[in-house]
Amino acid sequence: MSLATALSTLANYRSHNSRASQDVFDKGSVVLKSGATKKLGDASWDFLEQLALASIDVGRLDVADECIHLLVTKFPESPRVDVLSGIRMEASETPDVALAYYDQLIEVDPSSGALWKRRIAVLRRMGKIEKTVEELNQFLDTFYNDVEGWLELADIHATCYQYTASLQALSHLLLLNPQNPFYFLKFAETAYTSGDLPLALKMFLVVVDMSEREDELVKGPPRGIAIRAWFGIKQCSRRLLANPNHQSASHTATPKHLNLIEELSTERILAAYSGKGVLGLPAVRQWLGRV
């Protein structure tokens, strides 16, 4: 692969925020050894950060150290480089050492959200869940718009079987990103896991409404996230029909004409798996009760 192609591929990864660590390392190492970094201008610093992270991911700490050294020389007091140095430290030092490093930096600059998030990540890795949740809540009080923070908090609560708290965290996420169907899907699946079937069904239907246009609903099979949502709709409606007295913890009403919703979900799932080259139709038909 030519140097120009490697540079183009690396720039594309950066623009799409794609990690692709092994490929970035392979191509980035070629660029670094060739001395072409200097030709990149201001983009060279983004490249060095990208290569440093990829090198840490693949265990080539020597290359990461070379990149970080160049960055520290150029930006000796950069919080962004401090975070990168911390991530490098996490790869070879104990969590206690990394935690002390972040504590020292945060004491100097308590407004650095990136440093705070790395500290929270280390706390969770150490298994200090209560402290992690406490720190996350304090962090989100300051940086309310941080989507990753709310996702992290929701995930921690869910892994601890605290589904009500997880749904509360996800509700903030929906307020911040009302146009993202993936967050509604996560909310729906968490509600389903918690046992609140009417709430889960409502949110699965929202996902379908957001991800399928009216003409697709009539003419074409569902794709992508819509397939997952239809499976959720099928499961919720089937269970609610089997247990009409199901109580919703959120007091969400069960939709009228539930049997029609259940029938439509069956049709949409079959449509998704009935095309040429699509595998799994027999297993899907068995699950749907259409053997």
Q: Give 1's contacts (C-beta < 8 A, 6+ positions apart).
A: 27, 30
Given a cut of 80, whether residue 46 has pLDDT beyond it is: yes
pLDDT for the residue numbered 30: 86
Q: How far apart are the C-alpha atoms of 51 and 10, rounded to whole Å?
A: 9
Mean pLDDT (the chain) is 90
Among 15-19, 160-164, 192-196, which stretch is predicted with the lowest mean pLDDT?
15-19
Q: State the distance between the two ends of the chain, measured CA to CA, in whole angstroms.
A: 51
Q: Give 206's contacts (C-beta < 8 A, 6+ positions apart).
A: 181, 184, 188
Q: Convert the pLDDT of each residue in 84-132 to its tens digit.
A: 999 999 999 999 999 999 999 999 888 889 999 999 999 999 999 999 9
For residue 36, give the DSSP letter. G
- Assigned token pair, 144: 């309310």
Q: Could you give the C-alpha distances from 268 to 45, 211, 226, in angstroms and in order?
A: 49, 14, 9
Given a cut of 60, whether residue 1 has pLDDT beyond it is: no
Q: Convert the pLDDT of each residue in 22-45 to its tens digit.
A: 999 998 998 888 887 877 788 889
Which residue in this structure is represented by tokens 């699950």? 287
Q: Which residues of 250-270 are buried (b: 16+ CB within 10 A; e: fewer)?
A: eebebeeebeebbebbbebbb
Give rounded-to-5 percent helix, strand, coil for the chain.
75, 0, 25
Where is pLDDT greater, at 68 or 275?
68
Q: Which of 183, 188, 175, 193 is nearest to 230 (CA)?
A: 188
pLDDT tier for residue 153 given thresholds of 50, 70 and 90: very high
Cα pseudo-dihedral 118, 122, 124, 130, rounded to 10: -90
List, as one string, the DSSP characters of 180-208.
-HHHHHHHHHHHHHHT-HHHHHHHHHHHH
Q: Which of 234, 221, 233 is nearest to 278 (CA)?
A: 221
pLDDT for the residue numbered 219: 62
Given a cut of 50, whether residue 291 has pLDDT beyond it is: no
Q: Convert the pLDDT of each residue in 127-147 to its tens digit.
A: 999 999 999 999 999 999 999
Given a cut of 50, whether residue 68 has pLDDT beyond it is: yes
CATH of 1-78, picked from 1.25.40, 1.10.8, 1.20.120, 1.25.10, is 1.25.40
CA atoms within 13 A on the CB side of 218: 3
For residue 256, give the DSSP letter. S
- Assigned token pair, 13: 């990864």
pLDDT tier for residue 273 given thresholds of 50, 70 and 90: confident
% of the chain at pLDDT higher than 90: 70
Where is pLDDT greater, at 197 or 8?
197
Q: How far apart are the C-alpha atoms of 52 and 58, rounded to whole Å?
A: 10
pLDDT for the residue numbered 55: 95
Domain range annotation of the chain: 1-78, 179-291
